[in-house]
Amino acid sequence: MPSIAAVFATMNRSATALACVRALAAQTRPPELVVVADNVSTDETVAELERLQELPFRLIVHRMDQNRGNAGGVQEAMDLAFAEGADGVWILDDDSWPRPRALEELMKEPWDPQVVRHSLQIDPNSGKFTWPLQIKNHDGNLHLVYTAEDLSLINSPRSQTSWTGALVSHEVRQKVGAVNGALFIRGEDEEYPYRIRSCGYRFIPVINSILDHPGPADIICWKFFGKHLFFEPGLADWKLYYKIRNMVWLKKKQSGNCTAIAMSLAYLIATARIDGLKRMPLVIEAMRDGWRGRLGKWMSSKQ
């Protein structure tokens, strides 16, 4: 059996991080290693994690030198897990808590390092997927699936992308490279799967591997140039900044200047109509930084 490491990043969320580690400890097939990247917490997160005993795996609490967001935290945690000999890394969020059979179900099929199997994220409040799942149908088109029940009706489903819940093999990591920690947050979940697809690997959802992961209270979806775009009204300034900055940077890299400009205008109009004109300076700053490739931590952020 391959050696599996579960990884996630956290910061000042001791109860949340502890719940995730305990959910991993309750797995019918626990991972061999768990790596938690702590983004310089100022509460009891590190101390509480390091007090845990009698776990069915080795726990490494990796103390980050600086707050690098979820992207930087997962990057360092993944690098450490593979350096410790893991054959595969299961990417989680600190608030994506796996149900007891989640990892066992992921590992039921014979190990194939060229396939990225992934868990399904379900919002415990709604019973629907935390984020709509983009599935390729028989003619290669993408459509959105909102529930596990609907997914079970699709023959041999193949998803377009996955981040939280993805089981990434050492082979994939060697070919694709490390997570881009400079994205900080709200961008790594699109950029890394894009690189995985670009290298010819595919994503397979595993219906009975479930993560309980609360989703946004409200989400607006629309289609633009054949792409599904999602907007969360009332996002905190820093979340909106990273979402738009990283989107502009990624679209420019993926599809060129014209697509990046078109997507920027789409989010500019959506933000103005949904959240109001008062957020335009923030959106413009994010667009400008993304266009110029200014990644890393937003220096105006209150984090």
Q: Where are the domains of the chain?
A: 4-212, 220-292
As averages over each run of 10 residues, the pLDDT of the chain (303 residues) reads 97 97 98 98 96 97 97 98 98 98 96 97 94 81 88 86 97 98 96 96 95 87 69 90 95 90 88 92 95 92 46
Q: Which of 10, 205, 5 is nearest to 95 (CA)?
A: 10
The order of strands in the sheet holding 167-169 is 58-63, 33-38, 4-10, 88-91, 167-169
Name the superfamily (CATH) of residues 4-212.
Spore Coat Polysaccharide Biosynthesis Protein SpsA; Chain A (3.90.550.10)
- Whole-angstrom distance, CA of residue 209 vs CA of residue 194: 23
Q: Is 26 left (phi over 0), alpha (psi -120 to 50) or beta?
A: alpha
Report which DSSP code applies to 183: G
pLDDT value of position 227: 67
Distances (CA, A) of 25 to 34, 81, 160: 10, 17, 30
pLDDT value of position 219: 78
Q: What global pTM score does this model have? A: 0.93
- Whole-angstrom distance, CA of residue 173 vs CA of residue 17: 25
Q: Angle 237-255/280-292 helices, nearest 10 degrees?
A: 40
pLDDT value of position 303: 45
**CB neighbours of 87 closer than 8 A, spacing ≥ 6?**
2, 3, 4, 111, 113, 169, 170
- Whole-angstrom distance, CA of residue 16 vs CA of residue 96: 9
Identity of the amino acid at 203: F
Q: Enumerate the β-bridge partners of residue 121.
A: 211
